[in-house]
Chain A
């Protein structure tokens, strides 16, 4: 049988894998100190020594993209962990049991869902202050409703399946049904959802840091680099290109992966 190549999976894997490798290498080796300023190198052009050039303080952009991408990855992973974890818990309980609990929780969930997630994160940050961990918490909370919705709809559908009824007939407890019998069957939907959630988290973190209310110095962040780059757009347009490209490649990689997984 001729196997069709899943281009989405292939290209997505290469992009996402490449980005992750890039970030991983950056955890161990960095070409320069990301904070080292050098007046002589202000707006240095692209050269073998500085493949992405230098910024307004003469810092090496390649190094800073490496570090910034790492921050972005950490924030996005933390966000998805909180959002998907709490979302799965809420969604599975409400979807499986239904009734008034479901009614109440879903009403609150809908109310929260009405908030654009960045707006919700703004609320949390304005109350708790900015910084890496607050951003994770803020975005994590903001992402719970959307995950809860997806998981709940899966449970609503799957609990009506005959195999779940069958498990109940031979005396399986509710918790075991929920997490041993049903949960593995949500994976097909959850994996792409988590990937898309990850992407949204990357985009949201970048947006918040761009606005100056996200990750704070000394943590490098792609969003804040872009906000600085915008000021010097006339002088050094390439400064904006590389951090932006890093975000795009990361997001593109995971969205292609999510699509590719859905194709099967």
Chain B
């Protein structure tokens, strides 16, 4: 049905043409599910956009062949391409928040493909839209039909995107990282939905992701890409069991494994450096100009302690209160109840390495700032300490002269860690500190954190939504739901002998055990 041969994509906006995809080959039959896996910049999204006819920029050249049911898509007219878009070939994107038009009703957006490609009457369009919304498993399709995107949650919006994509019953559905922005339980539901559509409608799915384990759960075949080249392609299980190429091996190795035989560190004799007792907090939901406001509870009595050299994992989905807890611990939120001991020596590493370094200052200046505030050190001493810290977090000395925008994501996160460690804290709070990074970089940063813990005797509160990462790096795990800790213990105990149903649900959704 679909045959892509020798696809090359070149950009011409610089004087030297830059090729982003080299010799891409792929064939798909009706009802296939194929995954494309790669890190950022691997060309996976570009190939998919080319298939959907969404790379029609003037400064771009596409060579090769894309044959869809015998029709050549690269050379056909825009008009012929448009006749296929949304009817035979549909696409859903990563960001359900921004991929829907904010000022148009859901119904209007779902029906759009019908208006463009069919002669159905208004009533028939409505029927089909409701059918599609129901097919996408939205609970109240009639209600959703009249709503606007901002009235829906992220998961619901992605379902709406799917409904709009399948309303014309396309032959191919391209899904570009459709679950990356969503929580694990929602992610699992969307994956299930895609499988169901594939089975019932016989829609072929081209699934693009950076998450190898996710691809393994959904796809039969996989294409591994790196820097624009196809590294390896074939049966998912075969590649997982015996990867041929070096890069694939590395990619698979950087997926943290949940191995039952994990070594557990003995921390019985270690000194306690931090304690939180009965922390509770809420915020006032304002109710208009004169409304009294309703107190909404976010944290309901959280207690835990950290020992020297311990990494404590805190796992929960968005909105469970884990970020609020982090803010309280580091002193960014003052209105809470409960008691903190040892909170003077806490520093933080944030999720987004792009936003947590001041773009107007050099790395050296930034790293010096905690020392400057501390006072009592000469300029030369401060400079020396900055260089030492750079070495410690695995960066070259010359980085001190550079500005954050000149660094890669991994380098920035190293600088952030160095910045947090400049004032020699005892406790480090890492709030989703590796979530925004590519898997191979993620593995490096995790190694760095573990190494610093050993060298400096740091205690780390590691906040994450990723159960695999937590299992690998943490000595103890807490599972959080709706502002409460529902389960706590060593990773082995929590993952294999859990007692709370929510823990089970999380583990099931994230597919940790296959």
Contact = CB atoms under 8 A, between A and B. Distances in A.
Contacts of A168: 331-332
Contact of A163 (B15, B332, B356): B356
B360 A162 contact: no
A162 B373 contact: no
B347 A170 contact: yes
A185 B359 contact: yes
Interface in A187-242: 187
B332 A162 contact: no
Contacts of B330: 169
A159 to B, nearest CB: 12
A163 B369 contact: no
B419 interface: yes
B425 to A, nearest CB: 9
Contacts of A187: 360
Nearest to A176: B373
Interface in A161-176: 161-163, 165-172, 176
Nearest to B354: A162
A99 interface: no
A167 B355 contact: no
B229 to A, nearest CB: 23
B352 interface: yes
Contacts of B423: 170
A85 to B, nearest CB: 20
B373 A166 contact: no
B202 to A, nearest CB: 46
Contact of B347 (A161, A169, A176, A184): A169
A185 B361 CA distance: 9
A264 interface: no
Contacts, number: 56
Nearest to B404: A163
Contacts of B331: 168-169
A4 B16 CA distance: 14
B48 interface: no
Interface residues of A, number: 18
B350 interface: yes
Interface in B402-451: 416, 419-420, 422-423
Interface string B1-33: 000000000000011100000000000000000
Of B346, B351, B361, chain A has the most CB atoms within 10 Å of the CB of B361
B15 A2 contact: yes
Given A168-B331, A170-B347, A171-B373, A163 B16 contact: no
A162 B14 contact: no
A157 B347 CA distance: 23
Contacts of B14: 1-2
A185 B373 contact: no
A132 to B, nearest CB: 37
A185 B358 CA distance: 8
Contact of A172 (B351, B373, B416): B373
A129 B124 CA distance: 73
A167 B356 CA distance: 9
A163 B331 CA distance: 15
A254 B269 CA distance: 69
B72 to A, nearest CB: 32
A134 interface: no
A170 B356 contact: no
B348 interface: yes
A181 interface: yes
Interface in A148-168: 161-163, 165-168
Nearest to B357: A163
A172 B355 contact: no
A159 B31 CA distance: 50
Of A166, A181, A185, chain B has the most CB atoms within 10 Å of the CB of A166
A115 B6 CA distance: 64
B355 A161 contact: yes
A181 B416 CA distance: 16
A163 B347 contact: no
Contacts of B358: 163, 167, 181, 184-185
Contacts of B359: 185
Contacts of B356: 161-163, 165-166
Contacts of B351: 162
B44 to A, nearest CB: 25
Nearest to A183: B360
A162 B16 contact: no
Interface string A55-97: 0000000000000000000000000000000000000000000
Nearest to A187: B360
Given A1-B14, A1-B16, A184-B361, A167 B369 contact: yes
Given A163-B357, A163-B358, A172 B369 contact: yes
A2 B358 CA distance: 30
Contact of A185 (B332, B360, B416, B419): B360
B279 to A, nearest CB: 17
B370 interface: yes
B347 to A, nearest CB: 6
Contacts of B352: 162
A161 B350 CA distance: 10
A184 B369 contact: no
A162 B369 contact: no
A166 B15 contact: no
Nearest to A158: B358
Nearest to A166: B356
A184 B332 CA distance: 23
B411 to A, nearest CB: 16
Nearest to A184: B360
Nearest to A1: B14
B373 A163 contact: no
A1 B15 CA distance: 6
Nearest to A170: B370
A5 B332 CA distance: 45
Contacts of B369: 167, 170, 172
Interface in B353-402: 355-361, 369-370, 373
Given A162-B351, A170-B369, A184-B360, 5 more contacts: A1-B16, A163-B355, A168-B331, A171-B373, A176-B373
6 closest cross-chain pairs (CB), A and B: A162-B356, A184-B360, A2-B15, A162-B350, A162-B355, A163-B358
11 contacts: A1-B16, A2-B14, A161-B356, A162-B351, A162-B352, A163-B355, A165-B350, A170-B369, A172-B373, A176-B373, A184-B358
Interface of A: 1-2, 161-163, 165-172, 176, 181, 184-185, 187
Interface of B: 14-16, 330-332, 346-348, 350-352, 355-361, 369-370, 373, 416, 419-420, 422-423
